[in-house]
Amino acid sequence: MKSLRSYAFAISVIAFVIGGCQKSAIGPAGPAGATGPGGPDSIIHSQWIVLNMSIEGTYTDSSGNTDTLYTDTLPAPQLTQTILDSGVILSYLSYIDTTGTTNVMNASPYFNPELFQVGQIALTSINVDLSTGYSYRYVIIPGTLLATNSILKNYTKAQLKAANYSTIVKALDISDKKTPN
């Protein structure tokens, strides 16, 4: 009889434990936290920056032709020595033509030079004032991504620099507004 009571007591305890351990309802989710900054291995792209070029001076070449130098210096705080040493910096110009179409092209051919420095980009244009209707955007790709990113491993640095803007936006999943700022 003693073993029957022990058996009945054990069953009662187990039933009590199982019945008393119910999952409670999940409470409401808390508010979403702010998105943190990109890490050191993230692709960084600027907003479209309206150029504000100024006349740096004029010079006359050996043939007697006078050229005007236009310059602008843009802050680029994410541009570090590590990026300059091992990463890739892509740059683009955007303008809206007379039909209202936004056109985007690689910026490098329009500047002589386009000088990337720690924390800034210095632009010089000869005889062309690009501050009327032009915007500039840069894209920074850290060197670590060039070696590890499944999409980027298929491109050399030269191929990335030569790629058109729509290819880069799609490949790197860069957010893009139709109209520059």
At residue 11, the pLDDT reads 53
Tens digits of residue pLDDT in 96-136: 999 999 999 999 999 988 999 999 999 999 988 898 889 99
Helices (H) and strands (E) in the chain, counts: 5, 9
**Cis, peptide link before residue 113, omega less than 30° from 0:** yes
Cβ contact 181:51 at 8 Å: no
Measured in residues, the chain has a length of 181
Cβ contact 119:77 at 8 Å: yes
Instruction: Residue 92: count other Cβ atoms within 10 Å of its Cβ.
Output: 22
E-only strand ranges, 30-176: 44-45, 49-50, 54-60, 66-76, 88-96, 102-106, 114-117, 119-126, 135-141
In one-letter notation, the amino acid at residue 106 is N
Tens digits of residue pLDDT in 24-77: 566 566 666 555 455 556 888 999 999 999 999 998 888 988 999 999 999 999
Tens digits of residue pLDDT in 62-99: 898 899 999 999 999 999 999 999 999 999 999 999 99
Reading the block at residue 4, the tokens are 């029957």
**Biggest CA pair distance of the chain:** 122
> What is the pLDDT of the chain when averaged over all its residues?
80
At residue 170, the pLDDT reads 80
3-state secondary structure of 2: helix
Query: What number is the average pLDDT over the span 132-152?
Result: 84
* Residue 14, pLDDT above cutoff 60: no
